[in-house]
Structure 1
């Protein structure tokens, strides 16, 4: 039997192949490849989808993050609160600007523990960065209240949560700025690197457009030292196609997750939960296997099931952040999760038979 990959992108392409190919040809034949009508249309459509007044396309998710803190004026001497169990790009968005990440442990849903945020606030705290990890919306009711009471900026890392809700609002519409990655493996993935920010603030949107284009609002008139971080016309056009299918892509992910929930029955693994008041779009379906994760991973591999660990090294233990001086053992929940989590195969176009095979292998692990 062919190995079941943890993630694959060809099925998602094949599902809407003609639409993608028609749009690609349309853009190629237009003769306009940077900062044109496709980008403008995508920005309008994506803002409407998320529920914000503005969206600004950038080159990738990391640029969305560090440029967000740049336009908010957060840098040297400032602190930003962020959860420990995230991809290192979240923390890089803070430190590229010279600000200091202050790390909070996650809750049982793998989101930042809102009950542990306030104890970390100091007179240097300027913002909270919320990461909606694995596709689940964090507890934004409580976090927005904390930001309001302490007069803090709120940035959302929505790289994995396209289409997820807390209450009646979509992730990316709560904070001062929402940051999105459209890396190909995302639920709303492009066909190369791509990203965007969302905001209701016209001045933040204007500044983001300046910073992404060499710090220039008018050609050759550079207001600030900016970046070359433009979402190109081809990716914008292809993302416009995918955006029209996001509701069905999300429904498919929900069905896949429900099948795992119902089918997996092994006391050695811990299945994910979704918090009341939030939805999950299942960018990843993550199990925990206390004490035996690596053995479990090898067993699945030996039986033709591919998996990935998101993420084996928490940012505070990465070599890049040794200078923060956060010693091993300082964040026990974050570190325990890093030693136990494993992401199962889940992707657009996954066959029921493939998923049944994954479930069978998991349940046979002893």
Structure 2
């Protein structure tokens, strides 16, 4: 087997793949002096709204701020509890906590998404909302979660930071409850050249509230009506994202193609549990933000792949959020804790070639042989 290098992610490619067009955009925006809340942002918000079939898109500084604004616009505050899946970035819980509400972690399911049975068990008289993370570009079981929400008089907010365009039964991530957020961090499926995010919602009131919250609590007349953030998606980043959106379908198609090749190359390997293939679940359209496997002897495998030039990653530094004890969490979630001993992300991005994927699969098979 010829040795080769397969990085986990090549950050310079976020720029280099579109360098010529990005330079044109920078010149255009710069020469117009159009830096904050200009037509490029409005155009991107409109185009993304049309793409998703969601009524409102609001560009914000990052998805974490977006979660905070969604929580606040939904009336959450001190004394309220919000259930979230602990297999997520700490930002999910942070958005809840910043609003004054209490984030309550629940178990991860077999599909690496929020476990509905754990949600049901965690509900108390203080519970007001459920916040699934649509992880790795895949939606949770939204039918089950909505049924629980309806039964207990709760509402749903979605951390769909990793799931732009992912669908459950034809509905886009972020459209199931009062609202959701998308991240435009450079390594995301639609990434900008820095931090960025957006709020998506079909709720007019939530949209109007969040529009205030992202710009110092100012209405169009510049009258300040509440305390809030300065968290506006930079106009230059919006222009770059708007260009990249025109190629987004091709990027997702390629990711799904890579996932299919992983399925072919690693299928039937007893020591590795794969995510569902791109055509295996009729209810879900996965965009494969990440390709996360469960692997026996995970740490040994990770080291072996590194020795053979293959980059991998363990999400969240190997810690589910509820294990971050300095944040005040005390719950034990046995299934998630056992799961985290096996989780490993393989390279998944549009810089990969077919030969790269075949090399990764062959190297994993060699390790277990």
TM-score by length of 2: 0.94
Match of 1:284 in 2: 290
Shift of 1:22: 2.1
Match of 1:264 in 2: 266
C-alpha separation in 1, matches of 2:87 and 2:282: 21
Match of 2:313 in 1: 308
Matched, 1:62 2:36: no
1:184-204 Cα offsets, whole Å, 9 max, x none, are: 000011111000001111121
Range with bigger deviation, 273-282 or 150-159: 273-282
C-alpha separation in 1, matches of 2:326 and 2:181: 22
For residue 168 of structure 1, the aligned residue among 167, 170, 184 is 170
For residue 298 of structure 1, the aligned residue among 297, 303, 320 is 303
Match of 1:349 in 2: 351
Shift of 1:273: 2.2
Give the conservation status (yes or no) of the 8 Å contact 1:52–1:173: yes
Matched, 1:339 2:341: yes
C-alpha separation in 1, matches of 2:83 and 2:116: 11
The alignment of Structure 1 onto Structure 2 pairs a total of residues equal to 361
1:69-105 Cα offsets, whole Å, 9 max, x none, are: 0111101100001112111111111111221122221
Q: SS at the partner of 2:26?
A: helix
C-alpha separation in 2, matches of 1:188 and 1:6: 17
TM-score by length of 1: 0.94
C-alpha separation in 2, matches of 1:245 and 1:137: 22
Change (3 A) 1:32 1:39: same
Matched, 1:273 2:284: no
Shift of 1:47: 1.4
For residue 252 of structure 2, the aligned residue among 237, 250, 253 is 250
C-alpha separation in 1, matches of 2:85 and 2:290: 18
C-alpha separation in 1, matches of 2:66 and 2:323: 24
Match of 1:215 in 2: 217
Q: Which runs of 5+ in 1 are unaligned?
A: none
Match of 1:324 in 2: 329
Shift of 1:52: 1.3
Give the conservation status (yes or no) of the 8 Å contact 1:9–1:348: no
Shift of 1:356: 1.5
Shift of 1:12: 4.8
Shift of 1:121: 1.7
For residue 132 of structure 2, the aligned residue among 106, 130, 133 is 130
Match of 2:111 in 1: 109
Computed over aligned residues only, the root mean square deviation of the Cα atoms, in angstroms, reads 1.6
Match of 1:4 in 2: 6
Match of 2:182 in 1: 180
Shift of 1:276: 4.6
